[in-house]
Amino acid sequence: MMTTDTKGAGRAIPSAGPDFEHLLAQEVVIEASQGAASTGAQAIAPDHSPRAPVRSTDAPPLGLLSVAATGADLQREVEQFLYRQAELLDGKHWQAWIDLFDDAGVYWMPVTREQTDWEGSPSIFAEDKLMMEIRKGRVSHPNAWSQAPMWETNHLVSHVALESVDGSTVQVRSRFHMMELRRDHVRHFGGTYRHTLVRDAAGALRIRLQRVDLFNGQAPFDYVLQIWV
């Protein structure tokens, strides 16, 4: 609803000239209508945008286990394990990094959060240990041309939350931020790790599945990724 108010008629805007000042003196107030006839686009075409409303998606099950339930020792052990995973990547210790995986271990970076299986739909990375070995062999080769320019990565891992503990299997969620230097430019990648961890014969943690959801996985890639994130 529009109303005019001439009470402010005396208010001057400096050096705007008398005619202009006169026009501005009429203050126009636009208020939302109070339950009266619909306004604007609604009045002209009530169904002008007959699309489904955008719903917020359901919150993921929190599922976080309290430290009291799991023990501070497990929380700390898992955190240290995830930090080591990131440090091995930043240090380019490829074999030591691959050794963190269980024999049936898989490294998977889906394109969308909705994907549930590492096989059967397009992925950015979908690698078992043999494919990891191929990637390691490739980036270590003197003629891996794309790796000739100076490059480094720096990972931060945080928000480590144990989702479930079932016998020797631990499901853990965390966040990461990776900066990558390539030639003279820095790129940023961030997102969520979901690790399924198991125990080897010696009782040490091993990765059965490292799922990496890049928050910008569907944006255009400026160049491509060459090393696990």
Partner 1 sequence: MNIAALVEPDRVHKTVYTDQQIFDAEMQKIWERTWVYCGHVSQVPHAGDYHAVTIGRQPMIMVRQPDGGVQVLYNRCPHRGVQVVGNLKGNTGSSFVCSYHAWSFHLDGSVRAIPLAKGYEGTRMTRDNPDCGMKRAARVDSYRGFVFASLSDEGPSLPEFLGEARIGFDDMCDRSPVGEVEVVPICHRVIQHSNWKFFMENQLDALHPSVTHQSTGISAGRVEKRLKAQKSAVPLYYHYLSTFASSFEQWDAVQTINFPHGHGLLKAYMGLRPQDPDTLEYEALLKQAHGEQRAEEYLSRSIHHVLIYPYLSVQSPLQQLRCLRPIAPDKTLSEIWHFRLKGAPEAIYRRSLWYYNLVNSPATMINADDLENWTKGQWGLSSNGGDWVSFHRYFGDDREENGVTYSNHGTSEAVMRSQFRAWSQYMQAE
The torsion angles phi and psi of 198, rounded to 5 degrees, stand at -130, 175
9 binds partner 1 (CB under 8 A): no
Q: Which is nearer to partner 1, 83 or 151 (CB)?
A: 151
One of 50, 61, 167, 203 touching partner 1 (CB under 8 A)? 50
219 binds partner 1 (CB under 8 A): yes
Please say whether the beta carbons of 171 and 154 come within 8 A. no
Q: Which residues fall within 8 angstroms of residue 208, CB to CB, at 6 or more apart?
A: 101, 102, 104, 105, 106, 169, 196, 197, 198
Task: Convert residues 55-94 into a mask of x (bound to partner 1 by CB under 8 A) and - (unbound).
Answer: ----------------------------------------
Partners of 213 in the β-ladder: 192
One of 24, 25, 74, 126 touching partner 1 (CB under 8 A)? 126
One of 98, 106, 109, 207 touching partner 1 (CB under 8 A)? 109
Q: Which span (38-46, 88-96, 163-171, 172-180) binds partner 1, by CB under 8 A?
A: 38-46
Q: Which residues fall within 8 angstroms of residue 178, CB to CB, at 6 or more apart?
A: 153, 154, 155, 156, 188, 189, 190, 229
One of 58, 166, 184, 222 touching partner 1 (CB under 8 A)? 222
CA–CA dist 135, 154 (Å, integer): 19
Six-digit token string for 122: 């397009």
One of 81, 94, 101, 125 touching partner 1 (CB under 8 A)? 125
1 binds partner 1 (CB under 8 A): no
Site size toward partner 1 (CB under 8 A) is 44
Q: Which is nearer to partner 1, 10 or 50 (CB)?
A: 50
87-93 CB contacts, 8 Å cutoff, 24+ apart: 87/155, 89/153, 89/155, 89/227, 89/228, 89/229, 90/152, 90/153, 90/154, 90/155
Q: Which is nearer to partner 1, 84 or 182 (CB)?
A: 182
Q: Which residues fall within 8 angstroms of residue 97, CB to CB, at 6 or more apart?
A: 85, 88, 89, 228
112 binds partner 1 (CB under 8 A): yes
One of 80, 93, 137, 168 touching partner 1 (CB under 8 A)? 137
Q: Which is nearer to partner 1, 6 or 143 (CB)?
A: 143
Binding site for partner 1 (CB under 8 A): 40-41, 44-45, 47-51, 109, 111-112, 119-126, 130, 133-139, 141-146, 148-149, 219-226
